[in-house]
Chains A and B, each alone.
Chain A
Amino acid sequence: LNENHFLSCLVEFSKTSPAAVQVNVRDALNQAMDEELERDEKVFLLGEEVAQYDGAYKVSRGLWKKYGDKRIIDTPITEMGFAGIAVGAAFAGLRPICEFMTWNFSMQAIDQVINSAAKTYYMSAGAQPVPIVFRGPNGSSAGVAAQHSQCFAAWYGHCPGLKVVSPWNSEDARGLLKAAIRDNNPVVFLENELMYGVPFDLSEEVMHKDFVLPIGKAKVERQGTHITLVSHSRCVGFCLDAAAVLAKEGVECEVVNLRTIRPLDVETIEASVMKTGHLVTVEGGWPQYGVGAEICARIMEGPAFNYLDAPAVRVTGVDIPMPYAKILEDHSVPQIKDIIFTVKKVLNM
C-alpha cells in the first residue's frame, strides 16, 4: 500500500464501524517504534534508560529485549554529546530516534537540534539531509516543579528546518510518530507524560502497520458553529470537555487539534474561524511569544480576520515558573473552567 492510497481508503473506512481496540498513548508510541524498527534496519533508538530500564516512562518497554544493544542504546547522562552523536549518525545515513528523558533536558543539547540538525540541509544546499526524530515528554506533569515542567512547543516551533509535532491521543501518537520516523527531516516530537496512561479506541485501520498521519495537518475533533477552539496535546482533551459542558448551554464549539506545531495548518484554523467568527487558542505553555500568539497573528494577517466578530483570545499556562504545591500547580495551568469562562467572554455571554 502506498501512503496516499492508504489515506484515501481510510476516509472511506471511517464511515463504517470498524473493530476497535483500546490502546493508551504509551503503548501507541511503543507499537509505532516497534513497527518502524522492524520495518527499517536503519532505525534505532538512543537515550537515557531506553534499553534495560525499558524507558524512564516505559515508552520503550520490551524494545531492547527484542532488538538488542545495537538498536536500542542506553546513553550516559550527556545530552549534548548523545544528541550530537544522533545527528551525526543521521548525516551518515542511519535513522536515529533520539529520546530526551524530558524536553527540559533538551536545553543542554539545543545547539545540536537547531544548528546541527535543523539548519544543515539548507546550509548544504540540499546535499546533506538529516533524517532524525527527537522525542520525549514535554510540558507540565504532576508535582515535578519548575525545572521539569516547561513547554518547548514555541521554542522549537520558531525554527525553520524543523518539523514540530505535538500529538494528543493514541491515534495521533501512533500515526505521527510513524510519519516522523519515515520523514527524511529533523522532527521534534513533543509527547505528554500525563497522556501516556490514557486509553483511546483505535480502529483496525489505525492499527495497520503502514498507518501514518500527515505532518502539518490539523484535525477537527469536534464540529461546531459558534466558536473555534484551537489547541494541541493534552489541552485538546480539556477543550472537548469544555465543549461538552458548553453544549448544555447551547454553545457549540468547534475543537481543532493542531497535531503539528510547525508547519502550522493555518488553513484549517482559518476555515473554522470563517465558519464560527470566534477564536480561542488553548495551550499549556507560557503566553509570551507562544503558540497562541502565533495563531492570533496569522489570523490577523489572513482572510479569516474579516470574519471575526470578536478579538481572538488565548488561554495559556500562567506566566510563572511552575510551583510545586498542588493547589498552586493546579492554578498554573489552563483548567476547563478557564476555557469555559473565556468562551463566554468572547461570545459576550
Chain B
Amino acid sequence: RVLELTGCAASMVASSRSYADFTPEATFDIKKVDLHRLEEGPPLTATLTREEGLKYYRTMQTIRRMELKADQLYKQKIIRGFCHLYDGQEACAVGIEGGITLSDHLITAYRAHGYTLTRGGTVREIMAELTGRRGGIAKGKGGSMHMYTKNFYGGNGIVGAQVPLGAGVALACKYLGNDQLCVSLYGDGAANQGQIFETYNMSSLWKLPIIFICENNQYGMGTSVERSSASTEYYKRGDYIPGLRVDGMDVLCVREATKFAADHCRSGKGPILMELQTYRYHGHSMSDPGVSYRTREEIQEVRSKSDPISMLKDRMLSNNMASIEELKEIDIAVRKEIEDAAQFATTDPEPPLDDLCSHIFANDQPFEVRAATPWTKLTSTS
C-alpha cells in the first residue's frame, strides 16, 4: 500500500522488509482513568495491531498537516473569518472514532476540522470549504465552523448549543431502536453553559444513549480553567452521570475509554461523561497568538513530552511495529495529499452567484428572495 502511495523507487528498497518482519500486534500499558460514580473503568492495557497503528498514525498526521496548512493559508489571507485549529488534540478525534463506528453519530463545536475528517470528509473538501470554494464540503456556504457529513452534525458556532442537539440525536437513536449512540463534544469553556446541565438532566431522565465528551484543553479562549470554573473536575460535573477523566494525548487511552463509554450507552444505562485532558498548540483561533495568557515554555513542554503523534510513533517503533522509513513514507504521502488539497482549495472557483439564495428550504418549489434593492430578482432553490 505504501508503494502505491509513493510510487518511489527508493522506497522499494527501504520497504523490502516484508510484513512478517514486523510485530503484528502489541499490548501497551495505558494510564489509569479517574472514575466518578463508576466501580470499574476501562482496561489498563490496550492492544494495538500494526494496521490500526498505521491508520491512527496516518489520520493524526493528516489532521496535523491539514491544520498547519490552514494556518499558512490563513496568514496568506486565502482563508478568512474564523479558523480554530486542532493541532495537538488529534488523539481525541482519532481515538474517539476508534471506539465507535461510522453508524454512530457525533456532534462538536467549532474546532471541528479534525472531526470532519474522521467522520468521513476528505482533506480536499475540508480545505476548499475553508477557502470558500464550490468544491467545499458545504459548497462554500458554511466555512470553518459549519461542515457536515453523514452522521456528523457539525461544526457549531454557538458555544454549548451543540450539546442539547447531540442529545436530540441520541433521542432519535433510542426512538428508532437502532442501537446507535451520539457523541456530543464540548470544551472546558463551554462546560459551564446552563444548557449543558439541562441536557445532563434530560439525558439521564430519559436514559439517552449519549456520550458527553469534554475536551479540556486548559483554556476557554484566553481564560484558563482555574479562572473560569469553580470546579475544574469536568468529569464530575454531570453529578449523577458517571464520569471518566482520560489522558487525551494518548490515542489508545481515548479509544479504550470510548469503547467503555459506548458499551455503557448501548447497554441502556443512559449517558456517560468523558473528560479528555488535551492541549492545543495554536491559540484559540487564528486571530489569537496564544501567548498572552500562557507561556511559550508551557506549549513547548507539551510538544516535547506529550505530543500524541510522537507518542504513537515511539510506541510503534520501539515495538517493531513499523519502520522509520515506512512512517516517513506516510509523512510524505500525507504532505502530498495536503498539497494537492491546498492546490485544489486555492484554484477551485468560488460558488456561483446563482447559489447565493439556494438551500433556504428543503423540498420546496423555487421562490423569490428579497435582494439588496427591490429591483433585483433573486431565486432560491432547494
Complex CA distance for A124 and B150, rounded to whole angstroms: 12
Measured CB to CB, the closest approach of chain A to B362, in angstroms, equals 4
Please tell me the size bucket of the interface on B: 35 or more
Is the beta-carbon distance between A92 and B201 smaller than 8 angstroms?
Answer: no
Complex CA distance for A55 and B107, rounded to whole angstroms: 32
Inside 8 A of A93's CB, which chain B residues have their CB?
A: 172, 176
Inside 8 A of B146's CB, which chain A residues have their CB?
A: 123-124
Complex CA distance for A120 and B138, rounded to whole angstroms: 11
Inside 8 A of A128's CB, which chain B residues have their CB?
A: 148, 153
B167 contacts which of A85, A115, A127 (Cβ < 8 Å)?
Answer: A85
Closest partner residue, chain B, to A131 (CB atom): B362
A143 interface residue (CB < 8 Å to B) = no
Inside 8 A of A84's CB, which chain B residues have their CB?
A: 161, 163-165, 167-168, 195, 199
Give the A-B contact count at a CB cut-off of 8 A.
152
> Which chain B residues (338-362) contact chain A, with CB distance < 8 Å?
355, 358-362
Closest partner residue, chain A, to B156 (CB atom): A116
Is the beta-carbon distance between A129 and B141 smaller than 8 angstroms?
Answer: no
Tell whether A163 pairs with B361 under 8 Å between CB atoms, given A88-B171, A124-B141: yes
Chain A contact residue count (CB 8 A cutoff): 47
A301 contacts which of B141, B358, B362, B374 (Cβ < 8 Å)?
Answer: B374
B139 contacts which of A115, A125, A216 (Cβ < 8 Å)?
Answer: A125
Complex CA distance for A183 and B363, rounded to whole angstroms: 8
Measured CB to CB, the closest approach of chain A to B12, in angstroms, equals 42
Complex CA distance for A96 and B169, rounded to whole angstroms: 12
Is the beta-carbon distance between B359 and A125 smaller than 8 angstroms?
Answer: yes
Is the beta-carbon distance between A124 and B164 smaller than 8 angstroms?
Answer: no
Closest partner residue, chain A, to B147 (CB atom): A124
Complex CA distance for A130 and B176, rounded to whole angstroms: 17
Inside 8 A of B165's CB, which chain A residues have their CB?
A: 84-85, 87-88, 91, 112, 116
Complex CA distance for A214 and B163, rounded to whole angstroms: 34
A127 contacts which of B148, B157, B205, B361 (Cβ < 8 Å)?
Answer: B148
Inside 8 A of A86's CB, which chain B residues have their CB?
A: 168
A18 interface residue (CB < 8 Å to B) = no
Complex CA distance for A84 and B164, rounded to whole angstroms: 5
Is the beta-carbon distance between A81 and B195 smaller than 8 angstroms?
Answer: yes
Complex CA distance for A83 and B165, rounded to whole angstroms: 8
Inside 8 A of A260's CB, which chain B residues have their CB?
A: none
Measured CB to CB, the closest approach of chain A to B144, in angstroms, equals 11
Inside 8 A of B242's CB, which chain A residues have their CB?
A: none
> Which chain A residues (134-171) contact chain B, with CB distance < 8 Å?
160-161, 163
Closest partner residue, chain A, to B381 (CB atom): A126
Complex CA distance for A89 and B167, rounded to whole angstroms: 8
A91 contacts which of B158, B169, B194 (Cβ < 8 Å)?
Answer: B169
Q: Mark A66-106, 1 if CB is under 8 A from B, else 0.
A: 00001001011010111111111111111010000000000
Complex CA distance for A261 and B367, rounded to whole angstroms: 15
Is the beta-carbon distance between A82 and B172 smaller than 8 angstroms?
Answer: no
Tell whether A121 pairs with B361 under 8 Å between CB atoms, given A81-B198, A85-B199, A126-B382: yes
Complex CA distance for A44 and B105, rounded to whole angstroms: 21
Known pairs A88-B107, A92-B169 / 17 extra A-B pairs, C-beta < 8 Å: A76-B198, A76-B205, A78-B198, A81-B202, A85-B164, A85-B165, A88-B182, A90-B168, A91-B172, A115-B157, A116-B165, A123-B146, A123-B154, A124-B138, A124-B154, A127-B138, A216-B367
10 tightest Cβ-Cβ pairs between the two chains A and B: A88-B168, A84-B164, A81-B198, A92-B172, A129-B362, A88-B165, A125-B139, A78-B198, A123-B146, A85-B168
On B, residues with C-beta under 8 Å from A are: 105, 107, 138-142, 146, 148, 153-154, 156-158, 161, 163-173, 175-176, 182, 194-195, 198-199, 201-202, 205-206, 355, 358-364, 367, 369, 374, 382
On A, residues with C-beta under 8 Å from B are: 44, 70, 73, 75-76, 78, 80-94, 96, 111-112, 115-116, 120-131, 160-161, 163, 184-185, 216, 263, 301-302
The 23 sampled A-B contact pairs (Cβ below 8 Å) are A82-B202, A84-B164, A84-B165, A84-B168, A85-B171, A88-B153, A88-B164, A88-B182, A91-B153, A91-B165, A93-B172, A93-B176, A115-B161, A116-B156, A120-B154, A123-B141, A123-B142, A124-B146, A124-B154, A125-B142, A128-B148, A185-B363, A185-B364
